[in-house]
Amino acid sequence: MNYAKNILETIGNTPLVQLNKIVKDLPCKVFAKVEYFNPGHSCKDRMALQMVEDAEADGRLKPDGTIIEGTSGNTGMGLALAAIVKGYKLICVITDKQSKEKMDILRAVGAKVVVCPTDVEPTDPRSYYSVSKRLAEETPNSWYVNQYDNPSNAKANYEQTGPEIWDQTNGEITHFIVGVGTGGTISGVGKYLKEQKPDVKIWGVDTYGSVFKKYHETGIFDENEVYSYVTEGIGEDILPKNVDFSVIDHFTKVTDKDAAVFCRKLALEEGIFVGMSSGSAIKGLLQMKDQLKPTDVVVVLFHDSGSRYIGKIFNDDWMRERGYLEEEIVTAHDLIKN
């Protein structure tokens, strides 16, 4: 028999898929590392399991313990799978900006979900950073994961995602591009790839409303760069320890509208049904067109599945309310009039 002993054993070894129509204006080959093939439907399953196993190994997480994390959903899903298989409780602290689907999914896999306001300073006692920390202090036998500063996050991508991409491209990769949130993906994959081939280019995709690009270019943490935005999973108003700016060659910023529009294009043109940060990643790559030549081999990483965003990007009313969808709905009434 050929089977996995539990769901955690199915994490990783996701496919690399060539992109065709959406990259027709680029001179080179482009491949997508499609991370929704993980059991929790995102890349974050990898780092969630790594963080849990490293915490078990050094005694931070003890039997019957409660795992506590501030998570936009995908890390929570990964932690939930690990908690179920290994027998822990899980509390996820989430902001009210996150999609309802993400909250419902977390509850479905047994997590307790605490919702905090988005538009408050990180130091505000109501912020999801502060609430997670406070819950961790008040809950007996608990472990606060802190994916932003937890080195196991980048380590999982250094040990798994990076080598997978290297092997799948037979070492021919010349550029890696991905959205940046905690920084675990870009830093782990980027470090591994640069160790194999120092001239591989590592490009980060940031959002408007986030500090990364400006900080990378000037070394200045500019609070004026911070304002609320819609894209989920990428961009920050803090500098997480997991962002290793030294392996990143360039940041490009993508608007919320472009992220949503290109997310829809990926579904329609490639049949790849992914979340909004993947729309940012592909649009970010197209913005870098002038930097690419025919012999280049690009890998773009798609973090999660579009199913988490049915009520948002894949909902015409939601798109139209934000001015992301320009064409009007044709009603039966209009047809009769014309």
Q: Which residues are catalytic?
A: 44
Is position 150 an interface residue for ligand PMP (rule: CB under 6 A)?
no
Least gap, CB of 36 to ligand PMP (angstroms)? 10
Burial class (CB in 10 A: 0-12, 13-18, 19+), 228: exposed
For ligand PMP, which residue of 184, 190, 284, 306 counts as binding (CB under 6 A)?
184
* Spatial contact of 261 and 13, defined as CB atoms under 8 Å apart: no
Residue of the chain from 275, 279, 284, 306 that contacts ligand PMP (CB under 6 A)? 275
Cα–Cα dist 2/68, whole Å: 34
| Rounded (to 5) percent helix, strand, coil in the chain | 45, 15, 40
CA–CA separation, 247 vs 200, rounded Å? 10
Q: Which amino acid is present at 243? A: V
Q: Does 142 bind ligand PMP (CB under 6 A)?
A: no
Q: Which is nearer to ligand PMP, 106 or 180 (CB)?
A: 180
Which of helix, strand or coil describes residue 206? strand
| Residue placing its CB nearer to ligand PMP in the complex, 42 or 50 | 42
Site track for ligand PMP across 244-273, x = CB under 6 A: ------------------------------
Tell me which of 12, 179, 235, 306 binds ligand PMP, using CB under 6 A: 179
The count of residues interacting with ligand PMP (CB under 6 A) is 19
C-alpha angle with apex 202: 196 to 203, nearest 5 degrees? 170
Quote the least distance from Cβ 59 to ligand PMP, whole Å: 26
- DSSP readout, 226-264? ------SS---SS--TT--GGG--EEEEE-HHHHHHHHH
Q: Considering beta carbons, is residue 185 or 252 the nearer one to ligand PMP?
A: 185
| 44 makes contact with ligand PMP (CB under 6 A) | yes
Smallest distance from ligand PMP to CB 76, Å: 10
| DSSP type of residue 329 | P
Interface residue with ligand PMP among 99, 182, 207, 305 (CB under 6 A) is 182
179: how many CB neighbours lie within 10 A of its CB? Answer: 29
Q: Which is nearer to ligand PMP, 65 or 275 (CB)?
A: 275
Mention every residue, 6+ apart, whose C-beta is less than 8 A from residue 114: 91, 92, 93, 94, 131, 135
Per-residue binder mask for ligand PMP (CB under 6 A), 197-236, x = binder: -----------------------------------xxx--
| Closest CB to ligand PMP among residues 67, 259 | 259
Name the residues that contact ligand PMP, by CB under 6 A: 42, 44, 72, 74, 179-186, 232-234, 275, 277, 303-304
